[in-house]
Each structure stands twice: as C-alpha cells, then as structure tokens.
C-alpha cells in the first residue's frame, strides 16, 4: 500500500501543477484539433441523457497536426465512439519504471499514463484514483509476463476500493499500424486481468524502435469503461 500512497500523492501533485500551468508544458497547447475535438465527458453525459446532437468524428490529417501546437493524443471511449484530443500538460520521472504523463481533454478531464499505461483518471466520474503499472511495463520487453496490478477505484459513496487484479501479458507478435500518414512497426501485446468475477483486457501497441506506446485500448474503470488511445504527435 506504500507504493499506492506515493502514486496518489504524485498524481495529485501532477494534476494540480498541470491545472495551474506551473509545469510550463501546458502553455501554448491547442490549435485546430483542440477546436475540432468533442468533449470526452460531455459526450458520455449526452449519451446518458439521450441527446444525439454531438459532434461527428474528425478525420485527422497532417495539416491539422502541423497546425496544432504540442503533443497530441486521440482518445475514443467505447461507450460513445466519439473522439476527443488530449494535450500533454505535465510529465515527471520518479523512482518507479516509466515516465508519468498528464493529458488534459478539451473539457479539463485528465488521464494520467505511465509509459503509456493508464494509471489514473480525474474528472471522468467513477475515477481510477491510481493503478500500479510496473508489471505491464515489464511485459513490454517482448517476452510477456504478468503479476498483480492493484487499482484504486472510486465507489459511488465517495470512498475508494483497492482492487488487486491478477494479470497476464501475452506477446502477440509484430504488427504495422498506421497513424495519420505514418506506418509504424510495433509489438502488439494483450494484458488479461481478473479479480473475482471482473475480467478486463487491455491491448498495447509499442514501437519496435524506441519502445514508445503509440496505440492502446485500456480499461478506465467500471463506470467509464474502455478507451482507445492513439498518440498522434510527439
């Protein structure tokens, strides 16, 4: 539990820094894609309310990327099929493997990733307060693996529950993916996790050269469900 406490403190610190603009990376982010993207949270709320007047999906082009300042992540929740574009507003290294990055959506929701693995959400509703990513990151070496991943999830009463998932990472081989106008050679991996009657499956596409996560589909908790990520611009 000590690691989880440290993670919660780190995540809270990063999100507060990003919101205040103290990191510096949040300044100047925006542009064509920020204006074009629909709101992740707004789209889910609209669907729950039965409203259908939500923005259509934007076709991302090289021109749009060139007109957009900063690093860009496309996110598409399974529950809506709609897209948003998130911008990198903070990053930090600590004593654990991987770099922690804070990404902000067009409506100020935050997703926190460690080397591309989702470790927390803020502002989605039913948030993932923190999650261990060390076993997932260790499995990116191409040999598979696994272990326990503890996720701290919000309950409806405002409290939180630490859920110890047992996870297995399976190497699915090389796969070439296309992101906008780039063809990228990746290792594709599947992570299967189970806790009692709850089963989740995350998928990761990691560059064969450099090891950067370029694409994934990850579980963001029981309320929000799965989210597809594509790192469009570094």
27 pLDDT above the threshold of 50: no
Return the higher-pLDDT residue of 61 and 1.
61
Q: Which of 9-18, 49-58, 145-154, 201-210 has the lowest mean pLDDT?
A: 9-18
| Least confident stretch, 86-95, 136-145, 197-206 | 136-145
Mean pLDDT of 86-97: 89
What is the band of 234 on the pLDDT scale with cuts at 50, 70, 90?
confident
Instruction: Supply the pLDDT for residue 64.
Output: 83
Extract the runs of DSSP E, i.e. beta strands, from 115-212. Answer: 117-122, 128-131, 145-154, 160-179, 182-195, 198-207
Collapsed DSSP state (helix, strand, coil) of residue 37: coil
Number of domains in the chain: 1
Q: How many CA atoms lie within 13 A of 175 on its CB side?
A: 17
Give the domain extent around 68: 2-233
- Which region, left, alpha or beta, applies to residue 184 given φ > 0 means left and ψ of -120 to 50 means alpha? beta
pLDDT tens digits, one per residue of 156-208: 888 899 999 999 999 999 999 999 999 999 999 999 999 999 999 999 999 99
Q: What is the pLDDT of residue 145?
A: 78
Cα separation, 48 vs 43, in Å, equals: 9
Which CATH number do you get for residue 102? 2.40.360.10
Q: What is the pLDDT of residue 141?
A: 75
Mean of the pLDDT values across residues 131-141? 89
pLDDT, tens digit (0-9, with 9 covering 90-100), for 72-86: 899 999 988 888 889
- Across-strand partners of 73? 86, 231
Q: What pLDDT shows up at residue 54? A: 56
The pLDDT, as a whole number, for residue 97 is 85
Conformational region of residue 23, where left means phi above 0, alpha means psi within -120 to 50, and beta covers everything else:
alpha
Query: What pLDDT score does 164 carry?
Result: 96
Q: Is 124 exposed, middle or buried (0-12, 13-18, 19+ CB in 10 A)?
A: buried
């Amino acid at each position: 539990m000590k690691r989880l406490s440290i993670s919660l403190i780190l995540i809270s610190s990063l999100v507060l820094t990003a919101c205040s603009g103290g990191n510096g990376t949040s300044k100047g982010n925006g542009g064509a894609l920020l204006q074009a993207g629909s709101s992740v949270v707004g789209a889910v709320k609209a669907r729950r309310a039965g409203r259908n007047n939500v923005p259509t999906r934007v076709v991302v082009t090289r021109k749009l990327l060139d007109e957009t300042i900063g690093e860009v992540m496309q996110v598409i929740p399974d529950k809506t099929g709609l897209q948003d574009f998130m911008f990198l507003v903070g990053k930090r290294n600590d004593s654990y493997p991987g770099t922690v990055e804070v990404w902000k959506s067009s409506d100020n929701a935050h997703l926190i990733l460690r080397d591309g693995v989702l470790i927390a959400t803020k502002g989605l509703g039913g948030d993932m307060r923190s999650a261990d990513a060390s076993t997932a990151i260790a499995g990116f070496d191409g040999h598979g693996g696994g272990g326990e991943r503890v996720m701290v999830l919000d309950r409806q009463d405002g409290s939180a529950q630490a859920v110890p998932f047992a996870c297995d990472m399976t190497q699915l081989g090389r796969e070439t993916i296309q992101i906008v106008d780039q063809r990228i050679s990746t290792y594709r991996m599947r992570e299967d996790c189970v806790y009692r009657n709850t089963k989740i499956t995350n998928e990761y596409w990691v560059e064969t050269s450099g090891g950067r996560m370029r694409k994934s589909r990850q579980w963001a908790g029981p309320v929000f469900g799965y989210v597809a990520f594509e790192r469009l611009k570094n």
